[in-house]
Amino acid sequence: MSTLAFDFSKPVDFVAIGRLCIDLNANEINRPMEDTVTFTKYVGGSPANICIGMSRLGMSTGFIGKVSNDQMGRFITRYLQQNSIDTRNVVTDHSGAVTGLAFTEIKSPTDCSILMYRDNAADLLLTPGEVQEERIAEAKLLLISGTALAKSPSREAVFQALQYARRHGVVVAFDLDYRPYTWSSDEETAVYYNLAAEYCHIVIGTREEFDMMERFESNPDKSDRVTASKWFDYRAEIVVIKHGKEGSIAYTKDGSSHRARSFKAQVIKTFGAGDSYAAGLLYGLMKGWPIERSMTYGSAAAAIVVSSHSCSDAMPTARQIDEFIESSQADE
């Protein structure tokens, strides 16, 4: 059991800040995008997916972000509302920004790529003054996502959100979600990821993402334990390092490490695996479950999403996950 100090007197379970975008998923799959003709529109963006996932799992949720003042922005806000997510802090841009897009290409279940449109994206224009302190103060858990750190003023909005979280005793989870295309330089990336991680109680990322953060440090063996222990000197209680097919490992401040079973899935595409995993994991941690059980729940959620065409729209309910786990055979 983790030592995360959720304040259960707070009325809202979960609030996420950051990217809201549109996925345009190729309908004709198992071919290059040059040969696809039609696309289906979904809400996307890592923190949006996780928030939708948490809401599907029955948590009371809210989102802090910015959308374009057009049909895409209105579609996003409406979809969040349809998923019972509080959108009072979803601000509408008035500078002519657009919604970020992600066209997905599924050449095969294991060969997936994304064509991103991130220029002049509304979500990166959220300002610190637009972050409502009350939205954070009332939440048990705040999720931040690395992409929101990529540019000003969204970057400052996240740091301001972190100040509010500290001021009001809100647990913070950091999904590294590093996307190189929006950053100016690797050095800049490392500096801000490290600054933000100092504030966080739960840090989740891939080995490669942690390597990027250790640019100015010494961890020659890329040791997970060295990586994790650095953050326990700050506020971290749990550090999860993902190793793709080899599974994830969670370190806790007490020095122990944890692994969980993974599931066999009928993989259509790999997109959304990380977001659904995060939702399942955070859900378990908020329920007070042991870390292994929380990780297993995340893995099951991921297995469900990768066997579906969409990400956000495929986020499972607790009943779906329970049934999936029951009927599944774990890989060893």
Structure tokens at 42: 């979904």
Q: Which is nearer to a copy of itself, 3 or 82 (CB)?
A: 82
In this chain, which of 23, 86, 93, 105 binds a copy of itself, going by CB under 8 A? 105
Confirm or reject binding of residue 4 to a copy of itself (CB under 8 A): no
Confirm or reject binding of residue 111 to a copy of itself (CB under 8 A): no
Please state the closest distance from residue 114 (CB atom) to a copy of itself, in A: 11
Confirm or reject binding of residue 30 to a copy of itself (CB under 8 A): no
Confirm or reject binding of residue 160 to a copy of itself (CB under 8 A): yes
Determine whether 126 is exposed, middle or buried from the number of CB atoms within 10 Å of its CB (0-12, 13-18, 19+): buried
Number of amino acids touching a copy of itself (CB under 8 A) = 47
Of 261, 279, 281, 276, the closest CA to residue 306 belongs to 276
CA distances to 150, 189, 215, 250 from 186, in Å: 11, 5, 8, 26
In this chain, which of 7, 111, 134, 188 binds a copy of itself, going by CB under 8 A? 188
Confirm or reject binding of residue 232 to a copy of itself (CB under 8 A): no
Confirm or reject binding of residue 169 to a copy of itself (CB under 8 A): no
Q: How far apart are CA 79 and CA 85, in angstroms?
A: 9
Q: Which is nearer to a copy of itself, 117 or 289 (CB)?
A: 117
Confirm or reject binding of residue 127 to a copy of itself (CB under 8 A): yes
Confirm or reject binding of residue 152 to a copy of itself (CB under 8 A): yes
Please state the closest distance from residue 321 (CB atom) to a copy of itself, in A: 26
Confirm or reject binding of residue 159 to a copy of itself (CB under 8 A): yes
Q: How far apart are CA 132 and CA 164, in angstroms?
A: 9
205-224 positions binding a copy of itself, by CB under 8 A = 216
Confirm or reject binding of residue 58 to a copy of itself (CB under 8 A): no
Pairing of strands 202-206, 262-263: unpaired
Q: How far apart are CA 272 and CA 310, in angstroms?
A: 8
Q: Which is nearer to a copy of itself, 69 or 328 (CB)?
A: 69
Please state the closest distance from residue 149 (CB atom) to a copy of itself, in A: 12
Long-range CB contacts (within 8 A, 24+) of 232-236: 234/197, 234/198, 234/199, 234/200, 235/172, 235/198, 235/199, 235/200, 235/201, 236/197, 236/200, 236/201, 236/202, 236/203
Per-residue x/- track, 290-329, a copy of itself (CB under 8 A): ----------------------------------------
| DSSP collapsed to 3 states, 137-191 | HCEEEEEEEHHHHCCCCHHHHHHHHHHHHHHCCCEEEEECCCCHHHCCCHHHHHH
Q: How far apart are CA 285 and CA 251, in angstroms?
A: 14
Confirm or reject binding of residue 92 to a copy of itself (CB under 8 A): no
Binding site for a copy of itself (CB under 8 A): 24, 27, 32-34, 36-41, 70-72, 74-75, 78, 96, 98, 101, 103, 105, 115, 117, 119-120, 127-129, 133, 152-153, 156, 159-160, 163, 181, 184-185, 187-188, 190-192, 194-195, 216
